[in-house]
């Protein structure tokens, strides 16, 4: 089915997620010792698509792509930074949130993907604070409305200028008939711990809250007169820097641009290859192990920089996932394959485990955690195919555990001299990569009997064949040469015959067993409701609030509660 989407402003036919500071149009980063300052200065004419202006520091996906890049570079290129100060470069305006013209004219698919990426980027602020010792102070110098306040909510500390006009607001319900869908409602109650009735008042008030009430209601941490603002910001930055556990040993590494070669149906990175079968609605991703041994020391890793295999592979996989999500809407399933020696993968995992206290080893592990979470949140059927010559070991075994279905080949193929299919677990599978529910994928998989996790741990470092992997519950099916092709073909044909909408809902519900966290609520509850509302006529119909905003015409609502 054809999808009508605005034209990209740069004339390209695909959204690109790779950028660097030389190409930023919306953010200005400066670093002085342990303190980094990030100024939001959105270029009004720098929208990702044609047809709207990004006024009042409003944002679209292009603004957030740059923001995600800033956060990534702070973690890898500036290990000495211990606090980030987030501010606006515009006078008396912090951020007006997501651009309404952009939302009103976007396809449903783009709205969903935009909000998902924005949520992942907001989560990255909190991940950097909790696990990298890089907290954020947000300084609100004017109006912070909707997504602008949601951006502030991702920070550890919010300072609001007390000048009679600066305010915070979540006006989406009264103005647009949608929700503060990029974490706003959830962070309000679960993070800021705003009382439920006050949150109700706040979220149905167009003009927002300012001054003492903003502090009393826990919407901000402190209010400061304009005359004292710079002094207080400097003091808070110093306090947070002093309290940061982030170690500043060594220098950072440059996140050099990824090398990528694209043809109509193939994308080739150094360690990832993507084959697109648009007729069959399949994307095949092959992850390649390094053919080299790990370096001897972390100093050698720093010298290798972004070319270090685990880091480069994580960045390439992340880029490939985002590309499929945002540019290949008709793809029904992502088939994961791997190639290389499991022993090499395990050796790199052991190296990172042995140096886990080093800042760079820690950041590489944390990047893998975020990439795997992005895979969890991707609305495509995830399939792992463990074939002869595969290297699903350690970190790469997480792909199997993240898959909706996993198939493992029994024995050898006739005429194939590659090693029989084996998988292997490493220490990282038991702690390093929690999901959004706070559990590891093994813990989530074996909720019924935690002893099964220990059974798997007993095989730590061993190469496990198909029958044993199935016995341990690590894969879905073990298939021999006779059944392999037919079983997988029938499965994929069946998958393609189902409604994509129902599959998205099915997979999103089955992937996240176990407890809820603030992060899981944002995706599973807030986002789900927002995506439903994004298709309702009260918001997006011809007489809906999102369509009529700014026209002078009042929206016409269907009064029926559903």
Instruction: State the Cα–Cα distance between residues 499 and 147, nearest whole angstrom.
Output: 32
Q: Is the dihedral of CA 518, 524, 527, 533 positive or negative?
A: negative
Give the CA distances from residue 294 to residues 291, 326, 345, 352, 361, in Å, rounded to whole numbers and listed in that order: 10, 34, 9, 9, 12
27-32 β-sheet, strand order: 27-32, 35-40, 83-88, 136-140, 157-161, 222-224
| Residue 409 contacts residue 418 (beta carbons within 8 Å) | no
207 is catalytic: no
Q: Which of 66, 150, 387, 398 is catalytic?
A: 150
Can you give the length of the chain in residues?
A: 562
Q: Cβ contacts of residue 458 below 8 Å, gap of 6+? A: none
Choose, from 172, 387, 398, 519, the residue flagged as catalytic. Answer: 172
CA distance 181 to 203: 12
Which of 176, 120, 180 minimizes the C-alpha distance to 144? 180
Q: In Å, what is the CA distance from 167 to each residue of 42, 80, 87, 461?
A: 20, 33, 14, 55
d(CA 286, CA 267): 11
Using only C-alpha atoms, what is the Rg of the chain?
24
**What residues form DSSP beta bridges with 98?**
59
Distance CA 91, CA 93 (A): 6
Is residue 172 annotated as a catalytic residue, yes or no?
Answer: yes
**Rounded-to-integer distance, Cα 221 and Cα 194, Å:** 12
Could you give the residue numbers annotated as active site?
150, 172
């Amino acid at each position: 089915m054809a999808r009508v989407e605005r034209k990209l402003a740069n004339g390209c036919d695909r959204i690109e997620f790779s950028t660097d500071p030389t190409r930023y149009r919306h953010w200005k980063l400066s670093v002085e010792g342990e303190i980094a300052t990030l100024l939001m200065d959105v270029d009004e004419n720098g929208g990702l698509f044609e047809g709207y202006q990004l006024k009042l520091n409003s944002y679209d996906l292009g603004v957030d792509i740059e923001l995600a890049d800033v956060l990534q570079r702070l973690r890898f290129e500036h290990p000495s930074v211990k606090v980030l100060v987030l501010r606006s470069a515009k006078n008396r305006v912090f951020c007006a949130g997501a651009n309404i013209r952009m939302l009103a004219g976007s396809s449903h698919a783009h709205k969903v993907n935009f909000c998902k990426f924005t949520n992942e980027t907001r989560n990255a602020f909190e991940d950097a604070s909790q696990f990298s010792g890089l907290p954020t102070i947000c300084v609100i110098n004017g109006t912070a409305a909707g997504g602008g306040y949601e951006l502030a909510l991702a920070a550890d500390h919010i300072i609001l200028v007390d000048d009679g006009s600066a305010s915070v607001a979540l006006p989406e319900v009264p103005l647009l008939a949608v929700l503060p869908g990029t974490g706003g409602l959830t962070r309000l109650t679960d993070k800021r711990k705003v009382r439920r009735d006050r949150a109700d008042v706040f979220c149905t008030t167009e003009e927002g809250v300012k001054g003492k009430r903003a502090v009393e209601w826990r919407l901000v941490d402190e209010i400061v007169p304009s005359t004292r603002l710079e002094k207080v910001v400097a003091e808070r930055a110093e306090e947070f820097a002093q309290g940061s556990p982030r170690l500043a040993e060594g220098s950072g590494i440059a996140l050099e641009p990824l090398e990528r070669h694209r043809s109509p149906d193939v994308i080739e990175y150094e360690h990832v290859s993507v084959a697109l079968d648009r007729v069959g609605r399949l994307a095949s991703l092959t992850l390649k192990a390094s053919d080299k041994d790990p370096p001897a020391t972390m100093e050698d890793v720093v010298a290798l920089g972004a070319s270090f295999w685990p880091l480069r592979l994580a960045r390439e996989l992340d880029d490939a996932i985002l590309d499929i999500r945002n540019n290949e809407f008709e793809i029904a399933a992502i088939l994961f394959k791997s190639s290389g020696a499991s022993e090499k993968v395990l050796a790199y995992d052991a190296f990172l485990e042995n140096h886990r206290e080093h800042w760079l080893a820690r950041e590489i592990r944390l990047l893998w955690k975020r990439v795997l979470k992005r895979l969890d949140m991707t609305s495509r059927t995830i399939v792992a195919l463990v074939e002869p010559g595969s290297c699903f070991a350690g970190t790469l075994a997480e792909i199997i555990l993240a898959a909706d279905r996993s198939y493992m080949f029994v024995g050898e193929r006739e005429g194939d001299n590659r090693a029989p299919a084996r998988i292997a677990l490493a220490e990282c599978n038991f702690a390093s990569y929690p999901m959004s529910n706070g559990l590891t994928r093994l813990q989530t998989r074996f909720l019924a009997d935690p002893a099964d996790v220990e059974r798997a741990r007993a095989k730590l470092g061993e190469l496990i064949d198909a029958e044993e992997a199935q016995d341990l519950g690590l894969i879905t099916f073990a298939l021999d040469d006779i059944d392999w092709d037919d079983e997988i073909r029938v499965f994929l044909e069946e998958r393609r015959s189902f409604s994509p909408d129902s599959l998205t809902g099915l997979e999103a519900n089955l992937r996240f067993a176990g407890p809820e966290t603030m992060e899981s609520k944002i995706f599973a509850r807030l986002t789900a409701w927002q995506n439903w509302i994004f298709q309702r006529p009260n918001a997006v119909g011809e007489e809906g609030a999102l369509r009529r905003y700014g026209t002078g015409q009042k929206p016409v609502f269907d009064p029926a509660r559903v």
